[in-house]
A and B are shown apart, each in its own frame.
Chain A
Amino acid sequence: MGEVLLVAAFALTALMATAVVLTRDPVRQAIVLSGYGLSLGVLFVTLQAPDVAMAQLAVGTVMVPLMVMLAVAAIRRHQRKDGP
């Protein structure tokens, strides 16, 4: 049973990682990235690494998304109006 859980957690993580890469718009990608962070947290606990899971959740839920969104906001302010 424990192995099934591991397989499920690995599969979920691989799926979400692929989804993050394939999402091209930064705003949408950031949301998927947050989801990926959650799935990594769950996987790390199933791999018996609560310390790492906690670090991943702490960084991945607020810090990195906030940085990405602030960067996107800053870039929008400066991008050329006629730009692509």
Chain B
Amino acid sequence: MAWAAYLVAGWILLAGIYGIVTSRNLVHVVVCLSVAQSATYLLLLSVGFRQGATAPVFSDIRPGRRVVDPVVQAMTLTDVVVGATVTALLLALAVQVAKRRGTVDPDALRTLER
């Protein structure tokens, strides 16, 4: 069962992708994309976890305590910011699609090919 944590990340990623593919609303698509992204937070932090260790913040503990991997935490932090900004950008695009096309249903949007 030691690998279950990683598999949860895989499950969330697939759930997000399922949501995007079957979605009928572009706002829903964008939120599902952010769910798929949250899988990477889980995977990164699980990879950096260390049994019986504590946070690598030495304000109230002595140096020398077992700590978890700070690098994955820094990466995840960056990832969280990236996720929030990409969500903002895609929501802005979705608003404009609604204004120009009058719908946010991917099925009702005309093809771009001609």
Contacts and interface: CB of A to CB of B under 8 A. Distances in A.
A74 B38 CA distance: 26
Given A10-B8, A50-B57, A79 B87 contact: no
Given A36-B35, A56-B80, A24 B49 contact: no
Question: At the interface, is chain A mostly helix, strand, loop or mixed?
Answer: helix
B41 A71 contact: no
Contacts of B28: 24, 26, 29
B81 interface: yes
20 contacts: A7-B4, A17-B15, A17-B35, A21-B15, A21-B18, A22-B19, A26-B25, A40-B38, A43-B42, A49-B76, A50-B57, A51-B57, A52-B76, A52-B77, A55-B80, A59-B83, A78-B99, A79-B98, A80-B102, A84-B105
Nearest to A37: B38
A55 B34 CA distance: 15
B35 A71 contact: no
Interface residue tally on A, bucketed by range: 35 or more
Given A17-B38, A49-B45, A50-B55, A55 B77 contact: yes
Contact of A83 (B35, B52, B73, B102): B102
A6 B27 CA distance: 32
Interface of B: 4-5, 8, 11-12, 15-16, 18-19, 23-25, 27-28, 30-32, 34-35, 38-39, 41-42, 45-46, 49, 52-55, 57, 67-68, 73, 76-77, 80-81, 83-84, 87-88, 91-92, 94-95, 98-99, 102-105, 108
A78 B53 CA distance: 52
Shortest Cβ-Cβ A-B pairs, 9 listed: A21-B19, A80-B102, A75-B98, A26-B27, A71-B91, A78-B99, A17-B12, A48-B55, A48-B68
Interface of A: 2, 6-7, 10, 13-14, 17-18, 20-22, 24-26, 29-30, 33, 36, 40, 43-44, 47-52, 55-56, 59, 63-64, 67-68, 71-72, 74-75, 78-80, 83-84
